[in-house]
Amino acid sequence: MRRASLWPSSPAYAGTRRFDLVGDVKKARGKAVVLSSDSEYTQIAAATEAGAAAILLVRPPGVSAGLQWDPDAQERLAVPTVVLTSTEGQAILDRAGRPGASVALTLTTVSPYLYDVSQVSRQQVPAKVVHRVSESNSRRITVRYSGSGDRFVGEERTGWRPWVSYPRPGEQTETWYASVVRPATPKGAANVRVGDALRLRVAAYVDATDEHWLVGDLAYQGSMTAKLYCDGKLLTELPDGWRDVPVPGGAATYRLALTTARPNYPATTSTEWTFRSARSGDLPLLQISYDAPVELGNTATTRAHRLGVSVPGARTVKVETSGDEGRTWVEGTRVPAGRGTVSLRVTATDRAGNSVKQTVLRAYARS
C-alpha cells in the first residue's frame, strides 16, 4: 500500500477504482498516468488534455507530498489527482513501464483517523529513530465536532515539550463546539482582583464542555462589545472580556456587560455580571453551565425536552426559554414542543447579592 495526498482542488469519488497505468502522457487516454513531478500545473493540464482518467505526481527526493484537500474549493480539477513522495512513488513509476500495469486508487476525503506520534529521546538525537506504535503505548481519542452553521471546521495540532503532558494509553471521547455556546469563564481560568486591578477572564464563546473557547470574535466574523461599570458609572469600554483593568481603590459594585452577535449559532448573546469587590481575591462572577440534548448538528428534537442549567454558588436561578427568538418567554427548564430554534434566558443571584443575567438567542436548532 502506497500513501498519497489528494490535490487540494481534486475531484474525489467514494471507495476504490482500478486503472490501467502508464508513464507517458501520450498514452494516457482513459488510464492513470504517473509522472515525475516537474511543473505540476502544466503536467496536470497536459494529462487532462490527453484524456487521463487519473493523475499521479511523484515529487523529487526530499520534497514533501503533504497537501490538504479543500472541501470548499471553488474550482475543481477535471481529473482525480494525487501527489506522492519519491519514496512512495518510485515503485509506481517502475511499474508503469511494464505491460498490462494497473493501479488501484482509493480516495479518502474524510479520514476517520489522525495519528499524533511523538518520539522523545532524553538529551540526544538518536542515530536511528525507531518508534514502535502499538495499543500499549497509544491513546485512542474519538473527537466529535458539532455544527454551528459554518460549512468547514479545521484543526491545527501542535505538541510542545515539556509543557504538554500526554495521557496514558487507553481511550477517550472529546466534543467540540456543542451548544450552548456563550460567554463564560472557561475551565482553568479565573476572575481575580490583584491590588487595584481586576483580572477579567471571560471568553466570548465557550462551548458546553467549558474546555473549548475563543476570547474574541476573530473566527466568527461577528461583533462584540464589553463594558465595565463601577457604582453605576461607565468605567471603561474593552475590546473583549479577557483584560486586566485598573479600578479605584476600596469597595465598589461592578457590572460587566458583554454582547456578541454572529450569523450562526448562537445568533446573539447578552450577559451582565454584577458583583462587589473591595480587595485582592477571587471575583464573584457567577458562571452558567448548560446541558442541552443536542446532536452533532447542534439540533434537538422538536418534541418537548428538558434543558439542564447549573449556576454554582447561586441562591436563586430563573430559567426561561423561547421558541420565537425572544419575542415571548416561558419560565422553566422544560422546553415546549416546537420547530425552529430555542433561545434561553437565565437570571441568578447568590447570597451576597452578586448576580448574572444571560440571554442567548438561537442557542440551538430543532429538527
Q: What is the DSSP string of 14-31?
A: SEEEEEEEES-GGG-BTS
Give pLDDT, residue 2: 77
Is the Cβ–Cβ distance between 302 and 325 less than 8 Å?
A: no
CA–CA distance, 274 with 138 (Å, rounded to integer): 47
The pLDDT of residue 266? 80
CA separation for the pair 55, 48 (Å, rounded): 8
What pLDDT score does 130 carry? 76
CA 188 to each of CA 2, 212, 304: distance values in angstroms, whole numbers, following the listed order? 43, 11, 34
Residue 335, H or E segment: strand 334-335
pLDDT of 60: 92
Specify the pTM. 0.71
Output the pLDDT for position 265: 74
Q: What is the block-wise mean pLDDT of the chain (367 residues), using blocks of 10 residues?
A: 88 93 95 92 95 96 89 92 93 92 90 70 80 81 76 59 67 90 96 97 95 75 89 96 96 97 85 97 98 93 97 98 96 96 97 98 93
Residue 351 has a pLDDT of 97
What pLDDT is stored for residue 297 in this prediction?
87
DSSP bridge partners of 175: 144
CATH 3.50.30.30 is held by the domain 5-107: yes
Numbers of helices and strands, H then E, in the chain = 2, 28
Cα separation, 348 vs 288, whole angstroms: 9
| Residue whose C-alpha is closest to residue 273's, from 251, 256, 288, 258 | 256
pLDDT at 150: 54
Residue 154 has a pLDDT of 57
List, by residue range, all CATH 3.50.30.30 domains of the chain.
5-107
> Do 82 and 55 meet the contact criterion of CB atoms below 8 Å apart?
yes
